[in-house]
Chain A
């Protein structure tokens, strides 16, 4: 059974029908990449799952986490139920220190796994007292990922983790995500197809508000014509 099932998900924001009946599932292991050209609704899909759409957005459809319906549940409850989220803009609190950003993610009565976080990202331990707003883009991304890894998760939703990062940092972040994916399944929005090839087993492509492809990630990426048709780029390029 899939860990996440999205059925006939439709989202309309300010008159624009962004998602028009999106249906797909996320496997209970490994990484499922959510792909598509800019503006097709990948981020909107993640936000719809998490209940983070703007107040006036119209939402329809069915979303299930491990079989249980979660549509329209409050975001904080979904996260506590095991949906970890790393947003596109990283969402670190620039005015807080690195340690405070991590402390904020601790759950009352929980057992935050700092060993796991500092094991993956030792830089965060060294920079605990530094304001997050002064970190580099890569360090902020590590903090954003580290923050969700403090707690046990059933599924991670990660939105463009390598966007705007230097190639060396992209490689570090991809390695960290690869390690994380051995433990917890992941729905990954990513434009860098080399990273997708490295991490993802499955792929879902959204085009024109609908799902245009579901299947093995390599099958899509190896078939250059299909990749070009759906994503507008060749393999190894950025979508």
Chain B
């Protein structure tokens, strides 16, 4: 029983990371039809921003409110980078899909190279508040607290995103734009303004994944964003392009599957996730929820 609890909570922690990466990807693809391979860069910026801030930013540090400030700094960095990427690189390329892919792939490679040039390619020890290292007993299982941090952050982001999409004017525009972008413009709405916001939201969520992923892994490296991005894409495809709720369901499925399979058959978890992706593509190619922004 305790093993099941530990595996479940660890799987949900991993799912939380996948969701944070995938939610932004899903919204960006759903609204703007942009397959953003540079999304992993936002994650790395968040991780490195937090790591840098904990040492250098006045008031920030590796624990307590200092760590919260460091995370906020990392998230702001990721948000700004994402908004700039949309404004400077993506905006001139809307309706030019091949060029978008080339630019975002190039940017992700350049981002990794830039991080390596700045701080080296070796993993860096990551600041982790002490309480995240401590264990909490649940049903006989001793669960590291960082799992609860990840799950709590993902639930908060999910609730915030759904409330934003449901109760704000711009959220309404995004939901409609995911369904039919040209019809939104035919109602007199400049939908491109929403693109920048969606990129910024996606960048913020990815940067938070980077910041909290460092706590989970204990270290960060320039290629960490790319590794998580692969699972982010898988989650988006399984959940349904453009669906935040679908991304949440799919992230939970992928995280739990990976953990339980890896526990029983070491190393087979990733293969099972790819198999799940193949089954979804064959049986329900539109994903769990299809192309709808909220449900």
* Chain A residues at the B interface, C-beta cutoff of 8 Å: 50, 52, 55, 74-76, 79-80, 85, 87, 91, 93-96, 100, 103-105, 107-108, 147, 151
Contacting residue for A93 out of B183, B185, B188, CB 8 A:
B183
Contact in complex: B183, A87 (CB < 8 Å): yes
- Chain A hits for B182, CB < 8 A: 52, 75
Contact in complex: B186, A91 (CB < 8 Å): yes
Q: State the total of A-B contacts with C-beta under 8 angstroms.
A: 58
Q: Known contacts A55-B95, A100-B172, A104-B173: does B179 contact A94 (CB below 8 Å)?
A: yes
Tell me the complex Cα distance, A80–B190, Å.
10
**7 A-B Cβ contacts within 8 A?**
A91-B186, A95-B293, A103-B172, A104-B187, A104-B189, A107-B188, A151-B188
- Chain A hits for B95, CB < 8 A: 55
Which of A52, A104, A108 has the most B CB atoms < 10 Å from its CB?
A: A104
Count the B residues whose beta carbon is within 8 Å of the partner chain — how many?
22
Known contacts A75-B182, A93-B176, A95-B295; can you find 15 more A-B pairs with CB under 8 A? A52-B182, A76-B188, A79-B186, A91-B186, A94-B179, A95-B293, A96-B175, A96-B176, A96-B179, A104-B184, A104-B187, A104-B189, A105-B188, A107-B188, A151-B188
Minimum CB distance partner of A148 in chain B = B187
Which of B95, B175, B179 has the most A CB atoms < 10 Å from its CB?
A: B179
Contact in complex: B186, A87 (CB < 8 Å): yes
- Residue B294 interfacial (CB < 8 Å): yes
Tell me the complex Cα distance, A151–B188, Å.
10
Minimum CB distance partner of B176 in chain A = A93
Near A by CB (< 8 A), chain B positions 276-295 give: 292-295
- Chain A hits for B169, CB < 8 A: 103, 108
- Chain A hits for B293, CB < 8 A: 95
- Residue B191 interfacial (CB < 8 Å): yes
- Residue B180 interfacial (CB < 8 Å): yes
Minimum CB distance partner of B182 in chain A = A52
Q: Known contacts A55-B95, A95-B292: does B176 contact A104 (CB below 8 Å)?
A: yes
- Chain B hits for A91, CB < 8 A: 180, 183, 186
Report the minimum CB–CB distance from B145 to chain A (whole Å). 38
Minimum CB distance partner of B178 in chain A = A95
